[in-house]
A and B are shown apart, each in its own frame.
Chain A
Amino acid sequence: MKARAGWSRVARMSGQAVLTLASIVVLVFLLVRLIPGDPVKVILGVEYTPEKAAALRAQLNLDKSIPEQFVAYIGGLLRGDLGQSTAQRGRSVTDVIAGALPTTMSLVIAGILLGVIVGTTLGLLAAISTRRGVDVTVRTWGMLSFSVPTFLVALLLIFVFALSLRILPAGGWPNAWPDNLLYLILPAIALSVHLATAISRTVRQGAIDTMGQQHMEAAFARGLPPRLLNLRHVLPNSVLPVLTIVGISFGTLLTGAIIVEAVFGIPGLGAEMTRAVGRRDYPVVQGIALVTGVVVVLSSFVVESLYTFVDPRARTL
């Protein structure tokens, strides 16, 4: 019965996720139509001739009524067709995104893993250490790293590890696994710094709260050794909020990835995005906005569902 309650919660959340996705699709569709001015004129620029304009208009479906355009757009989406790039002739939007998405996702996921591992460890250490210095160090580090912008962190990393120590590449991206793992290290660190700080603060507070609870004292009074208390009771109780943070941060991390990609010269979604915006490549902008939205909605859905299975109390809510 309890398990069924958990599944019905997941079902309810997937309903919400589908609704959110639908509104993202509508918003992204309206995005291009609502931008003032004629996109065709902007795209063609000096090459503008009425014939070329008419042809492009037909290619972009802009010669039809808005409802017809919407139907065509949805039809395209269902077939996985996001249109043609106007700047990179001959490439479909799907193609552009498919080329860049894996790079960005590997950067974001590496950043999350690093942030979670480093953040949780530091937070737990700060909370359980009996030496005051550990706590103070972790908190000072957190404050410092929180106040330094991501691009500066990236530049500092390049300066120390690439230019001074010469142990890691300063940037670039060999398009081959596993060579690119080496090129992922510094960008992932740069991306994870803020996340790690947020997580370490939450874990530290969570651990301190947990340690003050009656069940911890009861377990202590039963004679359970401190190591077991920390690993089996403090840790599971204080990492629950980490899931929420990761879920909330996913969107921010994708945005952060754009900057990190720019600094390290990584050909990811961010690089495609900036290029597309600069060249007024509306179909690509539209496609990337859609994919980013979908990824964020899906990730927070996954996180919320995970919650249901990690925290037994969430199943009955």
Chain B
Amino acid sequence: MTTESSVGSPLLEVQGLHVRLGGREVIDDVSFSIKRGDSLALVGESGSGKTVTARVVTGLIDRIGGVVTSGRVVFDGQELRQGDNQQWAAIRGRRMALVPQASLSSLDPVMRVGKQLAETVSVLDAGADVRPRSLELLEQVHMPRPQEVLRAFPHELSGGMRQRVMIALALAGRPELIVADEPTTALDVTVQAGILRLLGELRRETGMTLLMIAHDLAVVGLVSDEVAVMRSGRLLESGATATVLSTPEHAYTKALLAARPEASKPGAPLAVLDRETGELRAPAALPSVATDGAVVLTVKDATVTYRHASSPALAPVSLDIQAGASIGLVGESGSGKTTLGRVIVGALRPTTGEVLVHGKTWQEVRGRNPIRRDVQMIFQDPYGSLTPWRTPRQAVAEVLQRWRGLSRSASLAQAGDLLDEVGLPRLTFDKLPRQLSGGQCQRVGIARALASEPRLIVADEPTSSLDISAQAQILNLLMSLRASHGLSLVLISHDLSVIRHMTDTALVMKNGVVVERGPSTKLFTDPDDEYTRQLVAATPVLDSVPGVTP
């Protein structure tokens, strides 16, 4: 399998790589190498070219129409040629394997897991006893109850289990190099921790080489010895992970680190990279308006049980939301945090219990009742929450027209002011959502929520689909708007760092039950509940973020 002579020399070497895709140069002179047994992480935000690079290495770039215009990829002394099926037949799966992004669709939905494993084993490991080898692979990835998993269909497994199957499939051909493309991106933090631990273990046990693609620097710190930071198709900085994370040289790397919520004091504005000057700075905190602390909304013993569900999605919960308060709902998928958020805004009627706004339940607030203005929502998917054929100006003006009784032209003009306030560039006011970036769309969503002059905003994972730098900007915006408008904020997030930074009190939820509630800082430094402790331990954070003074 391994030729002894090649030990110590690079297993994978990328030299001066240039790639064109869709008429643009998406990779511009990227070079790196990985020694046998080492690990390297390519880190960057969306559009940085990290995934394109992984596709070139795995010989998949021509499948999406990309062309290597110059440069070369050398694997164990052999130059890899895109589209050379004969060459790749000897490499794919056998010497180099891919672990794709965690998602429901990385396994064939109509074939049992056992059959997919068996098929891969019999192709890559001819002569092996298929069933024992399949079980051995599942045990290697610490799959609980492997016998049952073999009989299961992919949709019957959890996200973490599916990802373990993907890793088992990658191991089937005993490859020397594993390329993992954001292997934990869609997973819960506790599951992510398990998968990352597994990758580290496998590396030690089998001596395999790992090329990992990631967008989160903290995740990289857990699995990889070396890191390379990419942006806009260029490789900006690379070196030992510890060195790069503690003493970054490039301004962009510094910005990536500084934009993390744990890099600043809770509640302080986050540092953002100024694209023009390349300077790193945090905006000054805005003066805040005093709030009277009156109760805006009350949740009284609300529960939700969905039809045909065996257990409630939300166990009885009570909550007073005061003016100016900021409350975090944190938990993993299925914890009921979004259900509670929807109950608060009145999008979902509690099965028992009630939600009171100004002494009225949401069922009594119908149609044009002005109480409806008081509570607004910001959604997770920035593109999906905007009507595709409406410009930002139109989206905001619609709300103004309804609630402020303005004429069409007056509301369009005022919409411009609001969009200005949320920091949307003027050039984009009259473009369509698909021409905007995710962060810009989220700003439109925020302006639209503000348009009715609400007193409470419920933000459901407002930054989970954004890059870290866009997240910092949106969080800064939410903080400053909250201060200047005296808003109450309910922030729903799976990310403990975001919750700790943004909220005063937080509710930790699991399986529909609030397991712990209290001041946010206390929850994350000195939790009482075992589950909160697990969550805190599993959340990847950088211990020492290089200092940024706001």
Q: Interface of A with B (CB < 8 Å)?
A: 2, 213-215, 217-225, 228, 232-233, 236-237, 240, 310-313, 316
CA distance A48 to B421 in the complex (A): 91
CA distance A177 to B166 in the complex (A): 54
Chain B residues closer than 8 Å to A221, beta-carbon distance? 58, 60, 92-93, 97-98, 100
Cβ of A233 and Cβ of B108 under 8 Å apart? yes
Cβ of B103 and Cβ of A222 under 8 Å apart? no
CB of B111 closer than 8 Å to a CB of A = yes
Chain B residues closer than 8 Å to A316, beta-carbon distance? 155-156
Cβ of B169 and Cβ of A222 under 8 Å apart? yes
Cβ of A222 and Cβ of B105 under 8 Å apart? no
CB of B284 closer than 8 Å to a CB of A = no
Chain B residues closer than 8 Å to A213, beta-carbon distance? 105
Chain B residues closer than 8 Å to A217, beta-carbon distance? 60, 63, 100
CA distance A218 to B153 in the complex (A): 17
CB of B349 closer than 8 Å to a CB of A = no
Contact of A223 among B124, B155, B156, B166 (CB under 8 A): B124
Cβ of A228 and Cβ of B101 under 8 Å apart? no
Bitwise, B99-132 to A at CB < 8 A (1) or not (0) is 0110101111111000010011001100000000
Cβ of A222 and Cβ of B172 under 8 Å apart? yes
Q: Which residues in window 395-415 of B have CB below 8 A to A?
A: none
Chain A residues closer than 8 Å to B169, beta-carbon distance? 218, 222
Give the residue name and chain of the A residue nearest to B99 (CB). Answer: A218
Q: Which residues in window 142-181 of B have CB below 8 A to A?
A: 153, 155-156, 166, 169-170, 172-173
Chain A residues closer than 8 Å to B170, beta-carbon distance? 222
Q: Which residues in window 70-108 of B have CB below 8 A to A?
A: 88-89, 91-94, 97-98, 100-101, 103, 105-108
Task: State the Cβ distance, A312 to closest chain B Cβ, in Å.
Answer: 4
Task: State the Cβ distance, A194 to closest chain B Cβ, in Å.
Answer: 28
Q: Interface of B with A (CB < 8 Å)?
A: 58, 60, 63, 88-89, 91-94, 97-98, 100-101, 103, 105-111, 116, 119-120, 123-124, 153, 155-156, 166, 169-170, 172-173
Q: Name 11 interchain pairs, CB-CB below 8 A, sorted by A.
A: A218-B98, A218-B107, A221-B60, A221-B92, A222-B120, A222-B172, A223-B91, A223-B92, A225-B89, A240-B110, A310-B110
CA distance A205 to B105 in the complex (A): 18
Chain A residues closer than 8 Å to B97, beta-carbon distance? 221-222
Cβ of A224 and Cβ of B120 under 8 Å apart? yes
Cβ of A222 and Cβ of B106 under 8 Å apart? no
Chain B residues closer than 8 Å to A214, beta-carbon distance? 100-101, 103, 105-106
CA distance A223 to B92 in the complex (A): 5
Cβ of A237 and Cβ of B109 under 8 Å apart? yes
CA distance A92 to B110 in the complex (A): 49
Cβ of A223 and Cβ of B106 under 8 Å apart? no
Chain B residues closer than 8 Å to A228, beta-carbon distance? 119, 123
Interface of A is mostly: helix
Task: State the Cβ distance, A79 to closest chain B Cβ, in Å.
Answer: 42
Cβ of A312 and Cβ of B109 under 8 Å apart? yes
CA distance A183 to B153 in the complex (A): 45
Chain B residues closer than 8 Å to A225, beta-carbon distance? 89, 123
Cβ of A223 and Cβ of B123 under 8 Å apart? yes
Give the residue name and chain of the A residue nearest to B179 (CB). Answer: A221
Task: State the Cβ distance, B54 to closest chain A Cβ, in Å.
Answer: 10
Chain B residues closer than 8 Å to A223, beta-carbon distance? 88-89, 91-94, 123-124, 173
Give the residue name and chain of the A residue nearest to B170 (CB). Answer: A222
A218-B169, A223-B93, A313-B109 given. 15 additional CB < 8 A pairs?
A215-B105, A215-B106, A215-B107, A217-B100, A218-B106, A218-B166, A219-B116, A221-B58, A221-B97, A224-B123, A233-B108, A236-B108, A236-B110, A312-B110, A313-B153
Chain A residues closer than 8 Å to B109, beta-carbon distance? 215, 237, 312-313
- Given contacts A228-B119, A236-B111, A222 and B93 within 8 Å (CB-CB): yes
Task: State the Cβ distance, B295 to closest chain A Cβ, in Å.
Answer: 42
CA distance A310 to B110 in the complex (A): 8
Q: Which of A214, A222, A232 is the most central at the interface, judged by chain B CB atoms within 10 Å of its CB?
A: A222
Contact of A311 among B92, B108, B110, B173 (CB under 8 A): B110
Give the residue name and chain of the B residue nearest to A213 (CB). Answer: B105
- Given contacts A224-B120, A228-B119, A312 and B155 within 8 Å (CB-CB): yes
Give the residue name and chain of the B residue nearest to A237 (CB). Answer: B110
Cβ of A312 and Cβ of B153 under 8 Å apart? yes
Contact of B111 among A218, A220, A233 (CB under 8 A): A233
Task: State the Cβ distance, B91 to closest chain A Cβ, in Å.
Answer: 8
CA distance A232 to B169 in the complex (A): 17
Q: Which of B88, B101, B123 is the most central at the interface, judged by chain A CB atoms within 10 Å of its CB?
A: B123
Task: State the Cβ distance, B116 to closest chain A Cβ, in Å.
Answer: 8
Task: State the Cβ distance, B38 to closest chain A Cβ, in Å.
Answer: 22
Chain A residues closer than 8 Å to B119, beta-carbon distance? 224, 228, 232
Chain A residues closer than 8 Å to B166, beta-carbon distance? 218
Q: Which of B60, B100, B107, B110 is the most central at the interface, judged by chain A CB atoms within 10 Å of its CB?
A: B110
CA distance A225 to B126 in the complex (A): 14
Task: State the Cβ distance, B117 to closest chain A Cβ, in Å.
Answer: 11
Task: State the Cβ distance, B184 to closest chain A Cβ, in Å.
Answer: 16
Task: State the Cβ distance, B90 to closest chain A Cβ, in Å.
Answer: 9
CA distance A220 to B96 in the complex (A): 12
Q: Which 9 A/B pairs are nearest by Cβ-Cβ distance?
A: A223-B93, A223-B92, A221-B98, A312-B153, A222-B93, A214-B105, A218-B100, A215-B108, A218-B106
CA distance A236 to B172 in the complex (A): 24
Chain A residues closer than 8 Å to B155, beta-carbon distance? 312-313, 316
Task: State the Cβ distance, A172 to closest chain B Cβ, in Å.
Answer: 45
Task: State the Cβ distance, A140 to closest chain B Cβ, in Å.
Answer: 26
CA distance A214 to B347 in the complex (A): 34
Give the residue name and chain of the B residue nearest to A233 (CB). Answer: B108
Chain A residues closer than 8 Å to B110, beta-carbon distance? 236-237, 240, 310-313
Chain A residues closer than 8 Å to B120, beta-carbon distance? 219, 222, 224
Chain A residues closer than 8 Å to B103, beta-carbon distance? 214
Cβ of A219 and Cβ of B108 under 8 Å apart? yes
Task: State the Cβ distance, B49 to closest chain A Cβ, in Å.
Answer: 19
Q: Which of A215, A217, A225, A310 is the most central at the interface, judged by chain B CB atoms within 10 Å of its CB?
A: A215
Give the residue name and chain of the A residue nearest to B116 (CB). Answer: A219
Give the residue name and chain of the A residue nearest to B172 (CB). Answer: A222
Cβ of B108 and Cβ of A222 under 8 Å apart? no
Chain B residues closer than 8 Å to A224, beta-carbon distance? 93, 119-120, 123
Chain A residues closer than 8 Å to B58, beta-carbon distance? 221
CA distance A221 to B94 in the complex (A): 10
Q: Which of B106, B108, B119 is the most central at the interface, judged by chain A CB atoms within 10 Å of its CB?
A: B108
CA distance A233 to B110 in the complex (A): 8
Give the residue name and chain of the B residue nearest to A316 (CB). Answer: B155
Chain A residues closer than 8 Å to B89, beta-carbon distance? 223, 225
Chain A residues closer than 8 Å to B88, beta-carbon distance? 223
Task: State the Cβ distance, B65 to closest chain A Cβ, in Å.
Answer: 12
Task: State the Cβ distance, A214 to closest chain B Cβ, in Å.
Answer: 4
